[in-house]
A and B are shown apart, each in its own frame.
Chain A
Amino acid sequence: MRKILRRLTQTAAVLFGVSVVTFLTMHLAPGHPLQANPELRLDPTAVERWLKLRHLDEPLPAQYVAWLSRVLRGDFGESLLYNRPVLELIGERLPSTLLLTLTSFVIALLLAVAAGTYAARHRGSTFDRAVDLLSLGGISLPGFWLGIILILLFSYRYPVFPAVGMRTPGDGSLPDILQHMFLPLCVMVFGGFAHYVRHVRGAVLAVLGQDYVRAARSRGLTDRQILFLHVLPNAALPIVTIAALSLPMLFTGAMVAEQVFGWPGLGRFIVTSLLARDYPVIMTVNMYTGTLVAAANLLADLLYLLIDPRLRAEI
């Protein structure tokens, strides 16, 4: 418990540091939000006015303090680009983001656990080699490229699935959304699977060589019982680490899928905001990701405790 408390204070300190660094780099880098397009004929007085109305003309320390005190009161400000509360902007994109990322994460992880375990138990088999090849492909093939290929194949050549967006304009029923989800999901599952399956296979292989697995066999347990009672729980430790580390990414969207398939997610929003110097959004996103990373680490630690009694003893 004390450990968790210490962890929370550490996290707060880190977040504070991150916020200062982000704030400084963001404001010291060349350019400001209204400068993004030099072909616009900006009236210099309008720019001044615009900056003044948003207190962007004040000295940086004052701006930072103002930002911090607002954040501590739970106010993350308004986007400079969209003129709407930042939390609202993130909030309205979160469900579509999570729908895609969480689904693909769960499917990829389940497939990886199944295939990785099978491959480990049949090491050197054709299946094992196929999984290895597939995962190599998934790691080295750019998702962008795969996405375009899938669109060409399944939206154009054989028009089975829609290529773009999350819903048919005016529709948005569940089947409609599922259909739109299919291709981006394929790309993401493939990428995730390729990544996870190597870890799963390695972890299961390591456990399969353990003495307690042989001991369990000596007691007459079947392969299936050994797998579920002894191998998988022990292999879960490294898998949980990998999974927990990918958690923050689930909440920040999938850039490639969103770009290629026009999926309305957070990734595109974040990149747009970065390019547009949307300071309040960038700051909030940084805090948000920072919190997520800390939360994911904490979650991983808690899961360890849940899984491994040896660690419980240390508390």
Chain B
Amino acid sequence: MRRLLFFLIACMLLVSGCQKQHEENLKLRSQPELHFHVAALTGPLTLNPVLVRDSASAEVAALLHTTLLVTDPQTLTPLPRLITSWEYDREKLTYLFTLHPEAVWSDGTPITAEDVAFTMRVLSHPDYTGLLYLPLRYVLGAEEYKAGHTSELADGDIAGIRVIDEKTLSVTLKEPYAPFLSLLTFAPLPASHLSAVKVRDLEGHEFSLERPVTSGPYLLAEWNRDEYVHVRANPAYFLGKPALDNLYYRFIPNAETQLIELLAGKLDLVPTAVKVEDVAALRANPELKVYTNPRLVYDYIAINSKKADSPVGDKRVRSALAMLLDRKEVVDNILLGFADPLYGPLLPLHFAYDPALEKDNVDLAEARRLLVEAGCPQAELRLIFNAGNLVRENVALLFKEQAAKVGLDIRVSLLEWEAFLAAINEGDFDLAILGRGVEADPDLSYHWHSDGPGNTYGYSNEQVDALLEEAAALESAEERTRLYREAQRLIVEDVPAIFLYVRQAVHAATAELSGFIPHPENLFYNVHEWGLAGEGDK
């Protein structure tokens, strides 16, 4: 027994000894190189930037690929990236895009206008199953291409897309559409490698799974399926070789373990998964730095006004419901301040946001009066939300408590994710706490136009429809702002939903990290500018 124990201990010492030596070797060899470790909860499913459906794939795609345009992290307005400049011909509804002259694929060939045109054909192809068709809907001929293209390849032509020369592309819209540029945040595909691939085969193609030809700040070195993606700085990146030579995107499914690894110095950046309860402790640590930024996702209480014989069909009842919660209190007490209260359908980041809406009119007496007036002083309402979200659970309980004060009986039911989705889809609820992602452009049509694809609960206001249609066709930000503010006011008045808050993303990183600008949509927005202050000892 004792001999065995001794043997085990000896083995362990030997192993750790070897390891030390190994580490030293590694260190020696890699002295001049910088290594940077980023945590992720899961690994990517695809490396193909146009087939991304999950956040991990999106983040890895952002490392490997480069988008046509990016949005400004502060104002969400479009900024040049692969497209370095553009001209807009109002008469012809045509954009003339110029690509970066030095932009090259990882195989050394230049990124051309044909690549971009090809990518747009892929997105419009009837067999394309990704999420990026949205911007193409406004391109002349794209709808016809989607409906009528018979080849399985993304060949042929879309009427509105024309390659002028190697680095110049013109895109003609079918109608004026101001948000168009803000939607060009997708990355192109290399036409020379993929033009002979059937669009339906793209998901399983080696380009998507093993050997991508890329254009981004980093090149794929190794994808260890369940552990990490290792990428190396792209020396030919057209915005300059990134300073961090090696970046490891490591999948650590447990948020607690991520933090421990960060504290132990084995991770350099824990994005998004940081819990607000931990922030105080992390801020106190001189070796770490905490970053926050608002996200493009907000939480709201959906009101199912379509549901037959539900009192929430009555606008007075909805108004009364909107008077119950003090959003500032919710943000301060439940989210510890790591959120912004939300009063309308646009976020404070949007240029057309209306600060005038920012007031909580908690008025229980008025709410009571409205309920009585609506003839349902004692209604019973079903409020659903998904299990596992503590913040939403607390909001639900607070809401129930407040509603009880005005005589409403809120039946709170916590549902497992699938059951929750089913209840949402079947309309089996009066109220539901949900999250919703919004676009960078303030265009509200997707959710609030009568015909909007995301208009799930049948909101319809002709005035709003007219305002949104008019605003989308305008170029001037001032004029659009005016119209969107009017639309916001109308929507808030109609109370189709109770807006709650926009949560902040909280990131924790080593204090040595420099140049990191948290972006609401894209963690690696400016990864090529990141550096490590204490260079050399990593």
* Bound-complex Cα distance A106 to B131 (A): 48
- Interface residue B129 (Cβ < 8 Å from any Cβ of A): yes
Q: Which residue of A lies closest to B200 (CB)?
A: A53
Q: Is the CB of B19 within 8 A of A169?
A: no
Q: List the B side residues contacting A279 at CB < 8 Å.
A: none
- Flag if B54 contacts A160 (CB, 8 Å): no
| Complex Cα–Cα for A54 and B253 (A) | 29
Residues of chain B lying within 8 A (CB to CB) of residue A151: 257, 260
Cβ-defined contact, A268 with B226, below 8 A: yes
Residues of A within 8 A of B261 (CB): 155, 163-164
Report the Cα distance A260→B248, complex, angstroms. Answer: 19
Interface size in chain A (residues, C-beta < 8 A):
61
Q: How far is the CB of A200 from chain B (nearest CB, A)?
A: 16
Name B180-209 residues within 8 Å CB distance of A: 200, 203-204, 208-209
Known A30-B418, A49-B127; judge A41-B225 contact (CB<8 A): no
Q: Is the CB of A169 within 8 A of B418?
A: no
Of the candidate stretches A31-39, A211-219, A221-229, the one touching chain B is A31-39
The yes or no answer to B436 lying at the interface (CB within 8 A) is yes
| Interface size range of chain B in the complex | 35 or more
Complex CA–CA separation, A38 to B299 (angstroms): 13
Residue of B12, B248, B253, B419 ringed by the most chain A CB atoms within 10 A: B253
How many angstroms from the CA of A269 to the CA of B226 in the assembled complex? 9
With both beta carbons as reference points, the residue of chain B lying nearest to A272 in the complex is identified as B42
| Given contacts A268-B253, A269-B226, A272-B42, A53 and B129 within 8 Å (CB-CB) | yes
Task: Please tell me if the beta carbons of A39 and B264 are within 8 angstroms of each other in the complex.
Answer: no
Question: Which of the segments A60-68, A77-85, A286-294 contacts the partner chain?
Answer: A77-85
- Given A78-B204, A160-B16, A179-B19, the answer on whether A41 and B453 have CB atoms closer than 8 Å is yes
- Report the bound CA distance from A83 to B435 in whole Å: 28
Instruction: Give chain B's interface secondary structure class.
Output: mixed
**Per a CB cutoff under 8 Å, which of B224, B266, B422 touches A31?**
B422
Find out whether the CB atom of A169 lies under 8 angstroms from the CB atom of B248: yes
Q: A178 — which chain B residues lie within 8 A by C-beta?
A: 15
Report the Cα distance A31→B423, complex, angstroms. Answer: 11
- CB of A239 to closest CB in B, whole Å: 20
Residue B414, interface by CB 8 Å: no
B contact residues around A78 at 8 Å (CB)? 204
Q: Is B398 an interface residue (CB 8 A)?
A: no
B357 in the interface (beta carbon within 8 A): no
Query: Restricting to A165-208, which residues have a CB under 8 Å from any CB of B?
Result: 165-167, 169-171, 173, 175-176, 178-179, 182
Chain A residues near B (Cβ < 8 Å): 29-31, 34-35, 37-47, 49-50, 53, 78, 81-84, 92-93, 96, 114, 148, 151-152, 155-156, 159-160, 162-167, 169-171, 173, 175-176, 178-179, 182, 258-262, 264-265, 268-269, 272, 275
Chain B contacts to A: CB under 8 angstroms: 1, 12, 15-16, 18-19, 22, 26, 37, 42, 45-46, 53-54, 126-131, 133-134, 146, 200, 203-204, 208-209, 222, 224-228, 230, 246, 248, 250-254, 256-257, 260-261, 263-264, 266, 297, 417-419, 421-422, 424-425, 434-437, 446, 453-454
Question: 29 interchain pairs (CB within 8 A)?
Answer: A29-B418, A30-B419, A34-B53, A35-B421, A37-B53, A37-B54, A38-B421, A44-B453, A46-B130, A53-B127, A53-B200, A83-B45, A83-B204, A83-B209, A84-B209, A93-B225, A93-B226, A114-B1, A151-B257, A163-B257, A164-B252, A169-B37, A170-B26, A170-B230, A173-B22, A178-B15, A261-B257, A262-B253, A264-B224
